[in-house]
Every structure is written in C-alpha cells, then in structure tokens.
Amino acid sequence: MRSSIFALGAALAVAAIPSAQPFAQLATMTPAPSQNPQFTSDPEAWRPVAHYDLALPTGEAEAYASIWQDRLDESNREPSPALLPGQKPNPPMSYAVGNRGASEWNFSINFQSKLVVLTVLHTPHVCTDEFPSPSLAAKIKVCPMRLVTFEGDHYSIIDGAACFLLKTGEGPIEDSTATTTLVSYDVKVRAFKIRYTISHTDIAQCAQTVLLHPADVGVAK
C-alpha cells in the first residue's frame, strides 16, 4: 500500500480547473505566521497543519472546500453506509445538504509573488487505502492530495496522494502533540516535507516529500 502513495506522487500532473472563481477567497487569504516559512527565521522547522471540517463549510473552510468541490460532489453522490440495528447516524443530522463526513488538512506558504497551498481531503468514499495503526487513537487513511499554486491571475493544481490521520477518540488519553501531522519547507529543494506521528510514534510509511515544481526534476540548469 505504501507504493500507492509514491506511485501517484511520481505521476503528478498539472490539472485544469474550469474556473478560478471559486478560489478567489483563498487567493486573498494571508496564511497564519505558523504556516508561513517565508517570513520566519527557520523555514525548515516542523509545524502542525491546520484542519477544517468541510461538512458544512463556513469562513475560510469554504475556500478549501472549493479546491475539492469535484471530489466532494463525487463523494456526496455515494449512498450513506447502512446503519446497524439500533445505531444512530454520526453526526446525528441529515445530509440533504453539505458534504457527508468531509474534512481536510492544509499547509500554506505565502511567497512575495505567489501563494502555495498543500491540502489533503478525507471523506468516507475518496480515500483508497488504510495502513495499520500503532494505536487505537487514530486510523491511517491514504487520501487525495492537491498542491495549488496561485500566481497573479493564474493558478495550477498538482494531484497526488498522502496520508490522513483520522482520530477515533479511542485508546489511551494523550497530550495534544501525541498524534499530529507536521510539515516543513525545504528551501534548497523547494519542497514540502510531511511527517506523521501517532501516540508519539513516527509513521515512516507516510513520510513524503512534495516538490513545488516536479517537472524540473532532472532538468539541467
């Protein structure tokens, strides 16, 4: 299953989106300082990603939902899983509107001339694989990843795959740093580096490097 992540990563391709209008809100956002290696003294420090619930997105979450609208629509068309006798929906509400079970994590860098956003989507239907987890505290899903670059009036999207840690609320009580997704920016390589921990255990099979310009690999300069 590990190869499924990196096979997709090796086959990254720029995708076309019909309209940039849904991204207007995101393109004008200013990332929080903790997400902005360009303006920190140590851009290669590991920093936690931000998470948004996309079930009924509002505020900044709407901008990230717009990046994933095609995959959210795909997931929403799938039927809800059948409930066991006596089982109640989770969450206990109707999803006649909204995006059932959808969430994402993201990390952004605001350069002087462009905004780059790395985001990973989780829904009950779009994630492809699951790795064994060292703890009941979280499941390890393999989900769609997008690297979105906004530069002036132009934008590009690179599709791939990455891990998503889905906290279960089970297992032993942990501190806030026990189960995390961390990202750093390698200035020399010009790439995001992603690492994951569950119960303070590194998930080596999920560690990943995402190049800002994969087409430049192997090109003489």
Give yes or no for a contact between 157 and 147, defined as CB atoms under 8 angstroms apart. yes
Give yes or no for a contact between 74 and 92, defined as CB atoms under 8 angstroms apart. no
**Quick check: 20 pLDDT over 60?**
no
Q: Mean per-residue pLDDT for 150-160? A: 91
How is residue 9 annotated by DSSP? H
Q: How far is CA 135 from the centre of its chain?
A: 21
What type of residue sits at position 97?
Answer: V
**Worst-scoring range by mean pLDDT, 6-10, 120-124, 177-181?**
6-10
Under the banding of pLDDT at 50, 70 and 90, the label for residue 44 is confident
Under the banding of pLDDT at 50, 70 and 90, the label for residue 6 is very low
For the chain, give every domain's residue range. Answer: 2-75+97-213
Q: Which two tokens stand for residue 118?
A: 């790395």
Q: Which two tokens stand for residue 70?
A: 């095609």
pTM: 0.77
- In this prediction, what percent of the chain has a pLDDT beyond 90? 54
State the pLDDT at residue 12: 29
**Quick check: 3 pLDDT over 50?**
no
Residue 86 three-state SS: coil
Q: Which residue has the higher pLDDT, 31 or 59?
A: 59
Q: Which two tokens stand for residue 177?
A: 């740093």
What does DSSP say about strands 138-151 and 180-186: parallel, antiparallel, or unpaired? unpaired
